[in-house]
Structure 1
């Protein structure tokens, strides 16, 4: 009986898979028609979809993202271990001339470029091995965020049409994030830059392009290299936590925060600057966890990735590059 049930179940699953494949093939026909309508060349569309496959692992990854919430005291040491700091400093020195040139061109401190590189892809080691066309077609077909992923797929096809990368080399994450700086295709269209002057924007293999693209993203998003990202601080006893929040209207100058009793993490007074910078108080883990005063550059990092884990990991790695 068990054997019969097993066979029936196997046939049922196989039938479901075949039906799904047929539905996906039909969906791809619609994607191809949309791409042609948007002006992407027919040969590129044919090549891009020639071996497109539905990737159930991508859907599984999207639906099974970890839910366990780490505190920052748990997360930061994992995200910015000493070995990563050591590698970051070595790569900072190795690429110093190129990083300096690009940093000056875009108005971004090189240590933040290296920190983004390190946190996003472990300095280019982990960039994802999915075909970007496969991943984005799958995620669009899945339907949970169809409009978003269809838009990203059209951007990916535009990148192929512009000749920046070959179809077989366009690899990325299950969500379609690409290259060593893990740009979504729309971010590539808006911010990718040619860092070595060869006419291509290769964020997969060309480090100068990776650095320039990251710097261009920050620059166009409002980065100010006159300042850093912020700092970890201490609150006085009985501090009014209604003042906490990274929203418009809750910003204050460092002088104002100093008057309210907030100090640097080591207890010293907040710095006095010629131009009194505006900062927001943020306590992601509540007042009993890590507390920060963050500047607008931190807000820019949050545009790159809306996770405060990410923004603080980049910020801490950038600080370690400078201070250690």
Structure 2
């Protein structure tokens, strides 16, 4: 009763805070309307698309929590380059073979790379993001850090709506404003999106040809070199100086071969399509005793799409698998590897079977799933009880299946 009484006393204070936040948001929108006019957004369009907008404070918590920077690389890649995504990507290569061939002729970017971006960004159009785009961008334009950046994205979205390229109804995306099949942010959409199906619009939400052609155009403009690889996994010599590694520490390919960098099978690194004078970098995303990569200019083009090494490696490695590659030869330095999406769903089902309220079995590891994992780790005496969805907890729960209910005595 005491707790209820306290909550009742605090309720007016919470309501007052919410009201103040909403008033501040509405004042911010007034200022944004004036600024938007300078970016070509008419007053009528601004009023139309912002009518009834309310802020969403939850997006502010995500500014410093991007998975590319917070998730172990073996977890990140396990979910993005799994058997399902490879099989689906190969099916998409076949389904859209003629379209992709035309895109490759026009932009010089191979089909496997374009489809890999599509697969990583939206699971081939299945996952666009659930957050209302205008709500997220208007909130980030009025609160938190990087407001100037998000205001630019907000205004770019309003222009796209005003010009008829996209529709406001059901327009959703990521918390940061990326949307569509290949998750362009609005300013990139405005600069780089192309009309791939010839209907006069650049619709990366409703048109697969527009989305895939726009992705190829992006990579071309980012410096893509036709016919060259992004890079490949390599084997380092004993005693390799790890301080030489890093995307910005480039040397001629001939220098790396002279230092003993070899293919994973021990062969000399000398791709026919890459001159020996080409600049390359060695990447050690998990240290020297882990998978190592030699990357070229095309890797930089992929990296520019979302500036994170794990992200660029996910697209690069998925593109290799789509071409028929077998995956990595070296293993990651962990005794608890990451899980594919199928394994994550199996883990979630195990948690549901044990009475944990985690919501839908979807392979997405959210806070409810992590709390349930943590509870099971504690029950099983596992350390650390960190809520991580890895192979150890999956196998522990597989081995600890609840038995059948005992029969009642007759």
What TM-score range do you get, normalising by the shorter chain?
Answer: over 0.9
| Structure 1 position 252 matched with structure 2 position 251 | yes
Higher radius of gyration, 1 or 2: 2
Normalised to the residue count of structure 1, the TM-score between the two structures is: 0.94
Q: Which residue of 1 aligns with 2:272?
A: 273
Whole-angstrom distance in 1 between the partners of 2:21 and 2:243: 51
Q: Which residue of 1 aligns with 2:321?
A: 320
| Structure 1 position 82 matched with structure 2 position 83 | yes
Query: Number of aligned pairs?
Result: 321
| Structure 1 position 224 matched with structure 2 position 205 | no
Counterparts of residues 111-150 of structure 1 (less than 5 Å): 111-150=112-151
Query: In the TM superposition, what is the alpha-carbon distance from 1:65 to its structure 2 partner?
Result: 4.7
Query: In the TM superposition, what is the alpha-carbon distance from 1:68 to its structure 2 partner?
Result: 4.5
Which structure dedicates a bigger proportion of its chain to helix? 1
Q: Please, which moves more after superposition, 81-90 or 272-281? A: 272-281
Query: In the TM superposition, what is the alpha-carbon distance from 1:183 to its structure 2 partner?
Result: 0.6
Q: Please, which moves more after superposition, 167-176 or 227-236? A: 167-176
Secondary structure of 1:198's counterpart equals coil
Counterparts of residues 63-212 of structure 1 (less than 5 Å): 63-65=64-66, 68-70=70-72, 72-212=73-213
Secondary structure of 2:288's counterpart equals coil
Whole-angstrom distance in 2 between the partners of 1:115 and 1:64: 24
Query: In the TM superposition, what is the alpha-carbon distance from 1:268 to its structure 2 partner?
Result: 1.6
Normalised to the residue count of structure 2, the TM-score between the two structures is: 0.75
Whole-angstrom distance in 1 between the partners of 2:292 and 2:217: 29
Whole-angstrom distance in 1 between the partners of 2:287 and 2:300: 19
Q: Which has the higher contact order (CA 8 A, sep 6+)?
A: 1
Query: Quick check: 1:47–1:167 contact (8 Å CA) kept in 2?
Result: no
Secondary structure of 2:166's counterpart equals coil
Query: In the TM superposition, what is the alpha-carbon distance from 1:169 to its structure 2 partner?
Result: 4.1
Deviation string for 1:142-183 (max 9, x for gaps)? 231111101111111111122101222432111111111111
Whole-angstrom distance in 2 between the partners of 1:272 and 1:27: 55
Query: Quick check: 2:202–2:210 contact (8 Å CA) kept in 1?
Result: yes
Secondary structure of 1:293's counterpart equals strand
Query: Quick check: 2:234–2:262 contact (8 Å CA) kept in 1?
Result: yes
Query: In the TM superposition, what is the alpha-carbon distance from 1:241 to its structure 2 partner?
Result: 2.2
Structure 2 CA distance for partners of 1:246 and 1:58, relative to 1, 3 Å: same
Q: Which residue of 2 aligns with 1:286?
A: 287
Q: Which residue of 2 aligns with 1:3?
A: 4
Q: Which residue of 2 aligns with 1:306?
A: 307
Secondary structure of 1:286's counterpart equals coil
Structure 2 CA distance for partners of 1:212 and 1:252, relative to 1, 3 Å: same
Counterparts of residues 24-39 of structure 1 (less than 5 Å): 24-39=25-40
Query: Quick check: 2:60–2:144 contact (8 Å CA) kept in 1?
Result: no
Whole-angstrom distance in 1 between the partners of 2:39 and 2:300: 34
Structure 2 CA distance for partners of 1:252 and 1:228, relative to 1, 3 Å: same
Query: Quick check: 1:254–1:272 contact (8 Å CA) kept in 2?
Result: no
Whole-angstrom distance in 2 between the partners of 1:40 and 1:272: 50
Whole-angstrom distance in 2 between the partners of 1:185 and 1:226: 30
Whole-angstrom distance in 2 between the partners of 1:64 and 1:240: 32
Query: Quick check: 1:255–1:272 contact (8 Å CA) kept in 2?
Result: no
Pairwise CA RMSD of aligned residues? 1.7
Q: Gaps (5+ residues) in structure 2? A: 326-410
Secondary structure of 2:224's counterpart equals coil
Structure 2 CA distance for partners of 1:235 and 1:112, relative to 1, 3 Å: same
Whole-angstrom distance in 2 between the partners of 1:63 and 1:257: 36
Deviation string for 1:86-108 (max 9, x for gaps)? 00000110000001101110110
Q: Gaps (5+ residues) in structure 1? A: none
Whole-angstrom distance in 2 between the partners of 1:257 and 1:68: 31
